[in-house]
Structure formats: structure tokens, C-alpha cells
Structure 1
């Protein structure tokens, strides 16, 4: 399969006005894996991947809005709104929404990220019309009643408290703040206690109206689906809600920009009475559209992506200093992050940080071996395919490809890109990215003398 557009069909009304445009983005074998896209008048996009051999379908709607679209006083509004869309519409109560999916054995959920929000349901293929009707109703007909906003506020505050009780999770929010400061990308997706308490139903309704326009939405479905039937059902649901928008409106383009992260040598410590110290040592990474991301993926895998990675071997296997240690990348439209996480006993935090910093410096100066790169390429290829072995993962890939990249790449193309990465490309990326002076985020019960030494890790 390739990512070229094979066919385009423009349907027209009796007056000759174009009302829909359908494209075959990826052509599969005997129809399996075929990806099609229809853009409806008003800018709503519907993208499907057909898998006739399965009996399930995952249906989702993606909104081009995340926590980075919030002002400081609206921090947490995107996530708050995600919760509220489950609370009821003009046609269904909150119980009706959940019961409809439960009684057919389906699953329904949603998540909010920094640059997008997704609502989805996984059901048997025969129950897809129900899933489409329920999820579309939620997205187009939410009431956002004041009493629901007030009731859900307590749930959101409990979710914030739950996150703060998990330092291994919380340290990643701290790291985003360390690297990006008090900016939309640096603030937590959930918001803070103060901002959540200050949000009103009127402000959330305005946010909903502004960001859930059809030009900002992408509908996706993967599994045993008929593309034309999905388009017809989605169109009918949006028309019934009067939510198709202006006929001449065009879909919003993927985000772009060139935000530079200039943070270097910054240290943030959050004192907590925890059994472990949780640390993230990191540097600016690269945007998700950067062509070097394939080499960055190989580098990340070799450094801390598995049991054979350098960091796992040096920190856990050889010295037994941590149970969990790994590296990660976060790519946004205009910037990115690279980090190393470890959880260890507080009195060993400086040893762990020194080993991690030494390994990063060593990769910059000496590079990875050819064997490490070969092993990382194989691991990345395998995990890429295995991670797409269910309809939920495929639906997520469709949504992110359309919303974030504006193009769709076949699995074979992705595997070819990974296989084409050369040792020289990996070493060049290591020098460019890991050569920067790092910053550090720490959560744990460090004493004053231990805290004073944290600057050594970023010197």
C-alpha cells in the first residue's frame, strides 16, 4: 500500500453543486486495509479503514482542540468539556448514553491531549449505526447544563488529586512546566484546582461552540465497515442536529509553526513524602513533522526503549538502582521534548542521574554501535506493527494522521522509513538533540543537601 490518492469522486446535487468529495487514500489488497476519506460540505471529514476479516469496529470523532488552545484562566476547559459531553443531550440523558453502549457489550471513552481531543466507541460491526448515532449526538447536541457543570467539577478535582497522588505521572507534568514554563504547552491538561473551580457553564459553552465546529472535527472508523454507509450515517446525524455548518467552509489545516525551546540547565524540585524520588532529565526534542523523527525514534529505542537498551542495562540490570527507567519523546506541531525517567530511592537519586547523564554524553561523543542501531530498528519495526493489531489502534492512527499530519502513510511505508535510517543519521541526531544542556524535574523527599546537589546533573 502507498499513501498516494488513487481515486477521487465528487458527488453533486441536482443543481450541479458539489456536496461531497471522496478519496481513496490507501488501496489495500482485496479491499482489506483500504483507507477512504470523504469531505462533506461544511468541512467535516470522514476517514475509514476497512478490515473485512474482523467483527468489530472502533468509531471515533477527533476535535482539533487541546489544552494548548486555552488561555491561562481557561486552563482545564478542554478536559472539563470532554467530561461534560457525556452528561446528556437533547435526545439522551447521561444514563441513556452509557446504557446504549453497555447493552450491546461495547466500550466508550474519551481523552484530552495538548493538541487534540478524541471521543470513541468500540462495538460489534452490526452495532456500528448505534455507536455513530450516540457519539455524534454527544458531539453535536450536548446541553452543558449548569447543574452538570457543578456536579462534574467534583469529579475533575478528584482526577487532579489522583494524578497528584501518582508522582510517577505527576513528574511528567512538572517536566513540561520545567521545559516550557507557564505557556499553554507547559500547563497541565487537567488544569489546576483554582482554574477548574473558576470555570463556569457559560465559559465552557462558549469554548464548545468555538472549537467543535465541523471544520475542526474528523470522524474516523476502523474495522468491518462500509465507507459509504458510515458517511451516510454520520451525515444524517449531523444534519439532524443542524451541525453541518456553512456549505462552503473548508477543514482546518494541521497546526504548524516553529516554536523554539530555549530552556537549559533549569531544575525544578517538588518536595513530596514519597518512598521514591521520581526524576526526568531532558532536553528540547523535535516537532512531530520533522523528517529526522525516524532517526530520533531509533535513537530513543536504543537508549531507553526496552530491556536491552543502554539505560535499562546500566541503571537497572548492572547496578539495580531503579525498577523503572526509560527514555521518551513528545512531539508537538512546532516543538518537542526528549526525556529520561527513573524512579529510585531518594538516597540514590544522584547516582542514577549521573549514570543517565554520562550515558547521554557518551552517545553524543561516541555514538551508538551499529549493533545497537540494528537492534533498535528491529524493535521499532516490530512494535509499530504489533501496536496496530486492533481496530482501536487503527482508528487512533487515522485520526492523528488526518488531524496532525494531513496525510496517511501505510504500515509498509512506515516500516520502510524506519529501515532506511542509517547509523550516521542516528549519530547526527544524537549530537544535535542530546548535545544540549539538559534540564531536570524531581518529585520526592529530598533533604536540603541532596536538593542542593541537583544542579550537578545539569551543569
Structure 2
């Protein structure tokens, strides 16, 4: 099957089997929690994720940094468990637990043996629905987050990516740092974070995904027990959290060179501009384009900047996408005296690619590279769990491995060339961090 499997948001039950034998089931519980499972043949572990469909872009004024703050705080205690109790619950079974915050969603997850799925479901349900945001823990975690932000600020690669994002998404909430800023974290109070939590962690907002050695009916039974323990019963739910509006953001970043000067041995450089949203049919051509330009050791940028000229150790291209916007760019880290030359070479490679496009041989090589990377990535149940969550929250459809590989195999050199011409024509933003002047890296 070379088309996606639909996941209608209001369908109470959906089920299908993938070509590899994995069974997919989706159930909307009466309380509104959406549950998606993928039973993977031969697996002895399972990864369970509890998703909230809100991220840093959804924060209101006075709440900036709250989503990431919650990622920390939900591990710090509920009415039934202390922070130590939560840690012990996972350590006792040899499980791995963590969370991730994005611009459009948050996920709390655990990877456990098949025998311990119920334990993970019980603890994650408690964390997500019944955190107390203890005032003492809140202030302690504020300091921890400030340390995390300070650590990120010491990494110039992180800083230049944040600077680039702010330039591309200028004036949009997508341009804000996921973790907030030191000023916003110092300013936000517990009431603001609590309001953000209670408004966005209701049963009708929550999506639970599980992949690996998992039985759908057994997981539903365990989840319903855990929900009932928190007073969430089988009452009819309100409207489910809608999938995001796909109306494109009006991005038109000014041609700009922005430099944050600081001492160091390298200049971290980013050149790029707007990209495409995640649902755009050209995303398969974008994957090929990205692989060819800067996705591996045979890519044009790697060969020209590193192999032929020895100007950088790290050079790569990247593409990020959201419901209504995207970004595309090229990163390189180089010595200050080489920054101008590297910026010039990157722009030359981009312009040449936009003008002539890739060869047939290059496209076939990129397709093979992507097919291998996608297939190997799905060897981990965590990747399957994440694929389910993003299919439910972002796309409303599940692209399985044959469908993905088939769409990539169908990409033509002309499609890559046309997309390159569009994106590179918009690549007007330059961000740099290090001991360099704007004039040195300007186009």
C-alpha cells in the first residue's frame, strides 16, 4: 500500500494491519482519551507515551516556558507519589522514562518489559493527570531549568539555531525558544504554569500511544483502571482537541545577517529561510534534497566544504516542519578567519544546486540512503511509538514503511530541482555566533 492509513479523529474504533504484520488499533475512550497501539511481532518490550497536543507555541503571554517547565514538574510528585516514588517505580522494573517538549506537543514516555506495561501506564497516568506542582519543587526546578538554559547558552551551536529560528519565524510564536528564556523562567509563577497545565491536560486532550509487545485490550483495561483511580470515568467526553489549522503562516523574513559576537575558537554559521509545512506533498522531495545537499558524507556541502577545502569539521543541511510553516537551512562551524569563505562556498553550492538540480545518479543514491535510514530507525519500539503519536496529532494518517519508501522512490530529479529553486530563493537569513563581524559573512 503506497497510501497512508486514515485516522479519522471522531472514529471510535480504527484497526488495520501493516505489511510487516504489525497490528494497529485506535480507540477513543468514553472520557476522550485517544489510545493507539502497534503490536510488533517478536518484540519483548514496549514503549508507552502520553502526549499533550500543546507545545511552546501555544503559551500565552506570561506563560512562556511553561510547557517545558511542566516537562520537569510532572516527574516531581502527585497526590499519591513523591518524586522519589516515581523514580523508584521505574527503576524497580528496569524501565527508562523521560519526556520531550516540542513547539507543538509534549510527550511523557517509558520503555519497559512486556510484563511491566501496566506499571508504566499507572505511573504515567498519575503523573500526567494528577501532578500537584508542589511550590517547593516548583522553585527548586526553576533553578534547575535556569541551569539547563545556561548550559544551552554555552553551546554556540544551540544558540545559532535559536537565533536562526527567531529570524525565520520573526513575529510568530514558533520563533520563541522551547525552553523559554532566563527572563521568562524567572518571571513565570506557579499559578501561570498551573493554569497552563489544567487547561491542556484534560482527558479529551490526551493521546496515549504504545508500541512493541503490547496487547490493545489489555492496555485499555489497565488505562481505564488508572483513569478511574483519578476520578476519570466513562462519561461522554466533550470535543476532542482538534488537529492544528493548516493555514500557512505569512513568513517573509527580511534579508538579514545577525551576529551574536562572543569569544571562542569557532564561528557557528547558519544560512537559510522558510521551508514547507509537514503535510506538504513535496516533503518526500525535500527529504531527497536534504540528503543530497548536506545529509551525509557524499553530500555536496560535505564534499565541497570539508573534503575539498578542509574548512569545517561539521557541515550539514536540515529541514524542520510544523503544521503551518517550515524552515530550511545549512549549518557549518569554522575558524573565524574562514567564516567569510565558508559562507561564500555555502551560497555557491546552494545557487548551483538551485540552477541545475541533481543528477539521476545523485537522486538514486539519496533514495538508497533514506531507505536505509528510515528502515533502521524503525528497529526501535520508541520510534514506532513516536510515529503513532505524530500520526495522530499532526497528520491524521499513518504512513507505514512501504508507503514512505514508495513515495521516496517516486521522487524525480525535476521535483528536487524545482523545490530547491523555491527554497534556496528564500534562503535570505544568515545567523552567526562567534568572533566575527556581520560584513564577513554577508552575501
Secondary structure of 2:279's counterpart equals coil
Matches within 5 A, 1:157-172: 157-172=146-161
CA distance in structure 2 between the partners assigned to 1:26 and 1:80 by the alignment: 38
Does 2:147 align with 1:191? no
- Structure 2 residue ranges without an equivalent (≥5): none
| CA distance in structure 1 between the aligned counterparts of 2:124 and 2:102, rounded to whole angstroms | 19
Q: Is the 8 A contact 2:44 2:212 kept in 1?
A: yes
Instruction: Specify which of 154, 162, 167 is matched with residue 173 of structure 1.
Output: 162
1:293 and 2:283 matched: yes
Is the CA contact 2:339–2:441 (under 8 Å) kept in the aligned structure 1?
A: no
Q: Is the 8 A contact 1:114 1:185 kept in 2?
A: yes
8, 12, 18: which is aligned to 1:21? 12
Take 1:206 and 1:245, find their aligned partners in 2: how far apart are those partners? 25
How many residues are treated as equivalent by the alignment? 440
Instruction: Report the CA distance shift for 1:351/1:175 in structure 2 as closer, same or farther (over 3 A).
Output: same
1:452 — aligned with what?
439
* CA root-mean-square deviation: 1.8
**In the alignment, what sits opposite 1:46?**
35
Distance of aligned partners of 1:451 and 1:21 in 2 relative to their CA distance in 1, 3 Å threshold: closer
Q: Cα offset for 1:436? A: 2.1
- Asked if 1:205 corresponds to 2:194, the answer is yes
3-state SS in 1 of match to 2:127: helix
* Residue 119 (structure 2) aligns with: 130
Partner of 2:397, secondary structure, is coil
SS of alignment partner, residue 68 of structure 2? helix
5 Å matches for 1:85-124?
85-124=74-113
Judge which range, 432-441 or 243-252, deviates more.
243-252
CA distance in 2, matches of 1:177, 1:5: 34
8 Å Cα contact 2:13/2:28 also seen in 1:
yes
Deviations 1:47-93 (A, max 9, x none): 00101301111011111010000134321110001110000011110
Query: Is contact 2:288-2:370 (8 Å) kept?
Result: yes
1:286-435 map, 5 Å: 286-435=276-425
Specify whether residues 318 and 244 from structure 1 end up closer, same or farther in structure 2 by C-alpha distance, changes over 3 A only: farther
Return the alpha-carbon distance in structure 2 between the equivalents of residues 243 and 266 of structure 1. 51
What are the ranges of 5 or more consecutive residues in structure 1 without an aligned counterpart? Answer: 11-19
Distance 1:58 1:4 in 2: 21
1:406-436 Cα deviation digits (max 9, x unpaired): 1112111111011011111111111111122
Q: For the residues of structure 2 that align with 1:282 and 1:150, how far apart are their CA atoms?
A: 39
Equivalent position of 1:33 in the other structure: 22
CA contact (8 A) 2:305 2:315 kept: yes
Contact 1:33 1:50 in 2 (8 A): yes
Give yes or no for contact 1:41–1:249 (8 Å, CA) kept in 2. Answer: no
Q: Relative to structure 2, which stretch is displaced further, 206-215 or 320-329?
A: 206-215
Deviation at 1:244, TM superposition (A): 5.6
Counterpart in the other structure of 1:15: none
Change (3 A) 1:330 1:386: same
Partner residue of 1:247?
236
**For structure 1, which segment, 322-331 or 255-264, has the greater mean C-alpha deviation from structure 2 after superposition?**
255-264
User: What TM-score do you get using the length of structure 1 for normalisation?
Assistant: 0.93
